Amino acid sequence: MPDPSKPYLVEVDASDYATGGILSQRGEDEQWHPVAYISKAFTAPERNYNIYDRRLT
């Protein structure tokens, strides 16, 4: 279970066709553990966005 008092780490990346992200939290073992994942395929118009905008989509 996530602990709201501990810091979170958000990582995102995008390709030409999709974007994805991971929300992680540092555990008692000092390692980062995934809390949630998300991914989304781009629509045809979104594929034309520059890389910075694709990461925000």
Domain boundaries, the chain: 8-56
Euclidean distance between CA atoms 50 and 57, whole angstroms: 11
Residue-wise pLDDT for 3-38, tens only, equals 999 999 999 999 999 999 999 999 999 999 999 999
Which position has the higher pLDDT, 54 or 40? 40
Q: Residue 40: beta bridge partners? A: 19
CA R_g for the chain: 14
Q: Which CATH architecture has domain 8-56?
A: Roll (3.10)
pLDDT of res. 24: 98
- The structure tokens 């279970």 sit at 1
Asked if 33 contacts 56 with a C-beta cutoff of 8 angstroms, the reply is no
pLDDT of res. 54: 86
pLDDT of res. 55: 83
